[in-house]
Amino acid sequence: MGNDKYLYFPGCSVKRDAKSYEKTAFDVFGKLGIWVKELDKWWCCGATFGLAVDDVARHLGSVRSLIQAEQEGAQYGTYKLLTLCPMCYNTLKRVNLLLKKDPGKLDNIRRYLRDENLDYKLSVEVVHVLPVLYENRDLIRKNIVRNGSGIRAAPYYGCTPLRPREVAVDNPEAPSIMHVVLESAGVHVVDFPFKTECCGAYVYAYNRKAVIGKSSMIILGAYKAGANVLVTVCPLCHYNLMLAYNSMKNKPSIKIIYLTELLAYLMGLDDNIPHDIKSFLDGLAPAGEGGK
């Protein structure tokens, strides 16, 4: 542990809407000695996995990125492709599995890409950030420099890291992987019944009221369970949760943050933590300790 090497697929949402998620993730990786390199080129994964039997064209963005990872993997000595966004993870992972299980689909893809002289040899492994942090939990524990005993964190998994079962990073019915990472960082973990509920996903585009209702339920469920921090690993979940939180007339005293922002704070890696998050977490510090 601590000597892992990964190529990195950022995806559209992280680059556009979750910059502090990415920056704090790289800060944490650097502290843990995890080598991560962003792909020189990457394409939108498609956002969701196409379910139509002949939906080959929909997978081309993912396949092109997998091919890019395969080519760079030969150069850098790793075929592990890391994602932060669960939507990207879910789509890339399912496309990768589809091509490995169905030679006919792979042949169709090869025909599409023949004129570009591209071929995929199925060597890439798609991984999400949660298992990577879980595998390095002992190193996380050793690198904590702040007392997190005043932080009561509710892990929110959402849908796509856990569904469908064949790509799940943990038990879809009773996940604990983020719980363990948070406990390793020295915070009090609050379990709550809505940790795997859907936030509303893309429904916000045409029915914001429904998304606000679902996401408000998640926020209030975590708060009523005793949490002062709601932790997510998904840019879309973060967006919907913030949409709901900002719509509340009586806002509960709870902060919605990315897991890597919290880990960076506890490790003393402050450079890329948003000011409002750092100030909130400083306010949770045990009496007399204050922020670094």
Q: Is the pLDDT of residue 52 over 70?
A: no
Among residues 94, 129, 164, the one where a domain terminates is 129
**CATH number of 204's domain:** 3.40.50.11810
Are 125 and 68 in the same domain?
A: yes
Residue range of the domain that includes 217:
143-282
Residue 202 pLDDT class (50, 70, 90 cuts): confident
Q: Can you give the pLDDT at residue 48?
A: 67
Residue 142: Cβ within 10 Å count = 11
Residue 288 pLDDT class (50, 70, 90 cuts): very low
Which range has the worst mean pLDDT, 127-141, 201-215, 271-285? 201-215
Nearest to 253 by CA among 233, 278, 281: 281
In a domain, 25, yes or no: yes
Q: Report d(CA 231, CA 258) in Å as an integer.
A: 6
Residue 1 pLDDT class (50, 70, 90 cuts): very low
Q: Is the pLDDT of residue 106 over 80?
A: yes
| Region at 268 (left for phi over 0; alpha for psi -120 to 50; beta for the rest) | left
Q: Is the pLDDT of residue 51 over 60?
A: no
State what percent of residues in the chain have pLDDT above 90: 81
Are 82 and 195 in the same domain?
A: no
Contact 256, 21 (CB under 8 A): no
Residue 50 pLDDT class (50, 70, 90 cuts): low
In a domain, 137, yes or no: no
| Number of separate domains in the chain | 2
Q: Is the pLDDT of residue 57 over 90?
A: no
In a domain, 134, yes or no: no
Q: Report d(CA 48, CA 104) in Å as an integer.
A: 21
Q: Can you give the pLDDT at residue 115?
A: 81
Between CA 184 and CA 235, with CA 264 as vertex, the angle to 5 degrees is: 100
Are 34 and 73 in the same domain?
A: yes
Are 257 and 206 in the same domain?
A: yes
Q: Is the pLDDT of residue 9 over 90?
A: yes
Q: Can you give the pLDDT at residue 204?
A: 77
Residue 3 pLDDT class (50, 70, 90 cuts): low
Q: Can you give the pLDDT at residue 2?
A: 43
Angstrom CA distances, 211 to 172, 218, 227, 271, stand at: 22, 11, 21, 32
Are 159 and 102 in the same domain?
A: no
Are 147 and 262 in the same domain?
A: yes
Angstrom CA distances, 79 to 5, 71, 123, 168, stand at: 9, 9, 7, 20
Are 168 and 112 in the same domain?
A: no
Are 167 and 263 in the same domain?
A: yes
Q: Can you give the pLDDT at residue 32?
A: 98
**CATH number of 87's domain:** 1.20.1050.140
| CB within 8 Å of 106: residues ≥ 6 apart | 99, 120, 122
What is the arithmetic mean of pLDDT over 154-167?
Answer: 96
In a domain, 291, yes or no: no
Q: Is the pLDDT of residue 30 over 60?
A: yes
In a domain, 138, yes or no: no
Q: What is the pTM of this model?
A: 0.94
Q: Can you give the pLDDT at residue 183?
A: 98
255-258, strands of its sheet edge to edge: 188-189, 152-155, 229-232, 255-258
pLDDT in tens, 210-265: 999 999 999 999 999 999 999 999 999 999 999 999 999 999 999 999 999 999 99
Which range has the worst mean pLDDT, 2-11, 133-142, 280-289? 280-289
Residue 69 pLDDT class (50, 70, 90 cuts): very high
